[in-house]
């Protein structure tokens, strides 16, 4: 007869089952080993949470991961508690057959035990990771400035011979620029001769120094001290070196949980994650499951528990660093090209339980020899999707905060392509095919620092319609004059001229101006061509906003078809409106044929192509 709890013959071994608390306790009363064990660890969780709530339902998924869902014990608003069963150093047996060997967590991530775990990770990477070894085979390099940690002081050094050093990735915090101590023109000589006063180091900086010394790393690069912050010339010089600085670091230490320097690198680990021995089952432990890095940088847990990963400057730091040691709120995580390690001893995530196989890889070092085999255009579009949704204190940093990645992308493109404020000349038409992520409020840009045809011109998350091929339009002229290296994104002139079929929308401008989010209603714009979707780049200040000098004539606004995605016959276009002597981009448009819903995909595509090719052609210059 089957057990009323686990719905299986009484015994041991891994089985999947769902049971209510009453069923589970009935099974335990009948001496079913599985149910007795489940009751024991549920009571352990209740005691740890100090809750009187009663379990409603348990979902058991045994096996190597050992994740179990408990409903009813969580706080109001929580979906449930996911717990994990594990054993330490291979000892301990349990009736569910869960075999995962993990570690109990220390009470604080700065515990000496943590360094004892990190050292073998470094040694393994040094000795066994062939791909990581290749990334370290670079010409000798040293940043212009480093903090010297070899005695009790922290001294700013310049012009050192190439040496082993670490980088610190951290959040400055709100208003930190005006409050924290940093290297300036009037104190740089003091920091060189006398060192940085200890009380000038934030808690995060002091603890990063401690980690470096414990690991035998005697030099540290921190942006606020190793760049002269009030010197535009030094900023430009160091921004040009950023790729080399991070790529050549022995290790990047990331204060991933800390929103500012006052929180520190280390964190007290909440008790529910320590691991508690299940009464009656020696060396078998239970704890609440530890979430790994979030599946998206825009999720709520990404903002709350991993604030560093929401920062735009951090994207290139994470992508270029060969090895990263993340100090999270709960545990320490290691990321290199070849390995993903956590000091809890597990790499499973809560997302694994929920059936999401995708990890959060945009903050993981890539293997650049693998990237070199990818389509560089698609790779760039994916990078922009990953980066554009991150936060910047100053929107003017939008290009410079990506400059190091841009340098490496230039290399992947053969070193000959020209970078145009976030787009590339060789793939310019494809690169124009960006759109603002729908359903996000987007303010009208003020004092726009970048050309309207660049995704960098709007302060919001953008996405690309992947696999779109250029069609109908060609680039007639590019007038772009950079100031300094082009990857820094500064320019004195930025104008592109497209030549191709155009749809004059001068008399539909009010219709476009009234759309503040993703417009899914259709309307005819000319002949048999209709707008299927319009995605404005930003929200209008008013529903009837019109350009200065509008006289009711033609030539004030155009839809310019630029590409097609053949797998679903999506025809893409950009919407532009006159601005002075030129035009500015205002949004992305999908076009189709009036009444085309009943056509086959091929028939619809043929009709659209014929209609577009029959349009008048013109040259349109966009700024």
The pLDDT, as a whole number, for residue 349 is 38
Q: pLDDT of 408-464, one tens digit each?
A: 999 889 888 999 999 999 999 999 999 998 766 666 676 678 999 999 998 889 999
Q: Residue 273 phi/psi, 5° resolution?
A: -105, 0
DSSP 131: H
Highest mean pLDDT among 49-53, 55-59, 130-134, 223-227: 223-227
Residue 387 reports pLDDT greater than 90? yes
Number of separate domains in the chain:
3
Neighbouring residues of 52: CB distance < 8 A, sequence distance ≥ 6: none
**The pLDDT of residue 360:** 35
Q: Identify whether residues 57 and 126 lie together within a single domain.
A: no
Q: Which residues pair with 533 in a beta bridge?
A: 590
Residues 6+ apart with CB under 8 A from 561: 471, 472, 473, 500, 501, 503, 571, 572, 573, 591, 612
Question: If 0-12 CB within 10 Å is exposed, 13-18 middle and 19+ buried, where does residue 282 land?
Answer: exposed
Residues 85 and 134 occupy one common structural domain: no
Give the pLDDT score at 354. 41
Note whether residue 499 is domain-resident: yes
pLDDT band at 542 (very low <50, low <70, confident <90, very high): low
Both tokens assigned to 254 = 């990331």
- Parent domain of 190: 112-269+294-351
Report pLDDT for 145: 98
Could you tell me if 312 and 241 lie in one domain?
yes
- What is the rounded average pLDDT of the residues 49-54? 87
- How many Å apart are CA 618 and CA 213, to the nearest integer? 65
Classify each residue of 22-32 as buried b or exposed e, where b means 16 or more C-beta atoms within 10 Å of its C-beta. ebbbbbbeeeb
Closest to 49 (Cα-Cα) out of 334, 377, 322, 274: 274
Q: Is residue 425, in this structure, part of any structural domain at all?
A: yes
Domain boundary, last residue among 101, 126, 154 = 101
Q: Is residue 81 located within the same domain as residue 127?
A: no
* Predicted local distance difference test score (pLDDT) of residue 500: 96
Does residue 263 sit in the same domain as residue 397?
A: no
Helix axes 403-412, 312-320, angle to 10 degrees: 40
What integer pLDDT is reported at residue 350 of this predicted model?
Answer: 38
Span 190-204, average pLDDT: 95
Question: How many CB atoms lie under 10 A from the CB of residue 265?
Answer: 28
Tokens at 547, concatenated: 């350009």
User: Could you write out the three-class secondary structure of 332-370?
Assistant: EEEEECCCEEECCCCCCCHHHHCCCCCCCCCCCCCCHHH
Instruction: Give first-to-last CA distance, the chain, whole Å.
Output: 77
Q: What does the DSSP assignment read for 607-623?
A: HHHHHHHTS-EEEEEE-
pLDDT value of position 577? 93
Residue 435 domain-assigned?
A: yes
CA distance 285 to 442: 48
Q: How far apart are CA 167 and CA 225, in angstroms?
A: 12
Is 289 within a domain?
no
Residues 77 and 163 in one domain: no
- Lowest-pLDDT range, 188-202, 305-319, 336-350, 510-524? 510-524
Q: Collect all residues with Cβ–Cβ distance below 8 Å to 296 and sequence separation of at least 6.
A: 302, 360
For residue 359, being part of any structural domain is answered with no
What six digits make up the tokens of 318? 């994470």
CB within 8 Å of 538: residues ≥ 6 apart: 436, 442, 443, 444, 445, 458, 460
| Residue 217 located in a structural domain | yes
More confident residue, 517 or 571: 571
CB 220 within 8 A of CB 168: yes
| % of the chain at pLDDT higher than 70 | 88
* 170 shares a domain with 71: no
**Is the pLDDT higher at 173 or at 559?**
559
* 610-613 contacts at long range (C-beta below 8 A, 24 or more positions apart): 611/527, 611/528, 611/529, 612/472, 612/501, 612/529, 612/561, 612/571, 613/472, 613/501
Q: Is there a contact between 83 and 44 (Cβ–Cβ < 8 Å)?
A: no
Nearest to 487, CA basis, from 403, 417, 556: 403
Q: Are residues 203 and 248 in the same domain?
A: yes
Q: Could you tell me if 250 and 154 lie in one domain? A: yes
Residues 487 and 583 in one domain: yes
C-alpha to C-alpha distance for 540 and 436, rounded to whole angstroms: 14
Q: Is 481 exposed, middle or buried (0-12, 13-18, 19+ CB in 10 A)?
A: exposed
Distance CA 329, CA 50 (A): 22
In a domain, 321, yes or no: yes
Co-location of 29 and 123 in the same domain? no
pLDDT of residue 93: 82
Distance CA 233, CA 48 (A): 56
Last-in-domain residue among 69, 101, 133: 101
- 607 and 536 co-located in one domain: yes
Res. 155: pLDDT tops 50: yes
Encode pLDDT of 320-379 as tens digits: 999 999 999 999 999 998 888 999 986 533 343 343 333 334 555 655 555 556 789 999
The predicted structure's pLDDT at residue 321: 94
More confident residue, 518 or 621: 621
Q: At residue 517, does pLDDT exceed 70?
A: no
pLDDT bin (cut points 50, 70, 90) of residue 300 is: very low
Residue 77 lies in a domain: yes
């Amino acid at each position: 007869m089957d057990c009323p709890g686990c719905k299986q013959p009484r015994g041991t071994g891994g089985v999947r089952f769902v049971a209510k608390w009453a069923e589970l306790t009935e099974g335990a009363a009948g001496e079913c080993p599985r149910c007795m064990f489940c009751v024991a660890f549920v009571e352990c969780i209740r005691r740890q949470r100090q809750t009187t709530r009663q379990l409603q339902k348990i979902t058991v998924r045994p096996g190597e991961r050992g994740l179990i869902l408990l409903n009813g014990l969580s706080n109001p608003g929580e979906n449930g508690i996911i717990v994990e069963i594990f054993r330490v150093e291979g000892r301990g047996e349990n009736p569910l057959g869960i075999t995962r060997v993990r570690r109990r967590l220390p009470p604080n991530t700065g515990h000496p035990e943590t360094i004892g775990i990190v050292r073998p990770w470094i040694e393994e990477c040094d000795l066994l990771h062939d791909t990581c070894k290749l990334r370290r085979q670079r010409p000798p390099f040293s940043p212009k400035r480093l903090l010297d940690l070899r005695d009790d002081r922290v001294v700013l050094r310049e012009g050192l011979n190439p040496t082993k050093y670490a980088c610190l990735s951290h959040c400055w915090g709100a208003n930190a620029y005006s409050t924290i101590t940093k290297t300036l023109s009037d104190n740089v000589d003091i920091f060189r001769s006398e060192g940085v006063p200890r009380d000038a180091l934030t808690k995060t900086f002091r603890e990063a120094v401690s980690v470096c010394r414990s690991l035998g790393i005697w030099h540290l690069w921190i942006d606020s001290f190793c760049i002269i912050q009030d010197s535009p010339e030094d900023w430009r010089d160091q921004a040009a070196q950023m790729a080399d600085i991070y790529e050549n670091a022995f290790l990047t230490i990331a204060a991933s949980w800390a929103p500012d320097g006052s929180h520190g690198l280390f964190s007290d680990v909440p008790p529910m994650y320590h691991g508690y021995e299940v009464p009656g089952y020696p060396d078998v432990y239970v704890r609440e499951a530890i979430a790994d890095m979030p599946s998206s940088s825009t999720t709520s847990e990404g903002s709350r528990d991993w604030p560093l990963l929401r920062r735009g400057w951090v994207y290139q730091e994470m992508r270029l660093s060969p090895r990263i040691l993340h100090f999270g709120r709960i545990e320490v995580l290691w990321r290199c090209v070849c390995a993903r390690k956590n000091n809890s001893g597990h790499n499973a995530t809560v997302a694994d339980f929920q059936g999401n196989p995708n990890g959060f890889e945009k903050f993981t070092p890539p293997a650049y020899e693998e990237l070199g085999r990818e389509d560089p255009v698609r790779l760039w579009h994916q990078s922009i999707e990953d980066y554009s949704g991150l936060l910047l204190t100053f929107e003017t940093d939008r290009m410079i905060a990506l400059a190091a990645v841009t340098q490496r992308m230039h290399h992947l493109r053969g070193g000959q392509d020209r970078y145009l404020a976030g787009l590339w000349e060789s793939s310019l038409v494809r690169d124009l095919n960006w759109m603002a992520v729908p359903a996000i409020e987007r303010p009208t840009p003020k004092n726009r620092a970048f050309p309207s045809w660049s995704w960098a011109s709007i302060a919001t998350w953008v996405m690309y319609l992947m696999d779109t091929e250029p069609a109908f339009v060609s680039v007639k002229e590019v007038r772009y004059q950079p100031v300094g290296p082009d990857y820094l994104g500064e320019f004195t002139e930025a104008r592109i001229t497209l030549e191709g079929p155009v749809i004059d929308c001068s008399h539909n401008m009010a219709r476009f101006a009234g759309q503040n989010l993703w417009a899914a209603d259709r309307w005819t714009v000319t002949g048999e061509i209709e707008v299927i979707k319009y995605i404005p780049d930003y929200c209008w200040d008013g529903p009837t906003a019109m350009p200065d000098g509008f006289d009711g004539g033609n030539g004030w606004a155009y839809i310019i078809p630029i590409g097609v995605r053949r797998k679903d016959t999506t025809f893409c276009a950009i919407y532009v409106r006159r601005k002075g002597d030129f035009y500015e981009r205002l949004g992305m448009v999908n076009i189709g044929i009036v009444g085309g819903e009943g056509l086959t995909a091929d028939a619809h595509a043929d009709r659209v192509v014929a209609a577009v090719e029959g349009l008048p052609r013109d040259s349109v210059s966009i700024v």
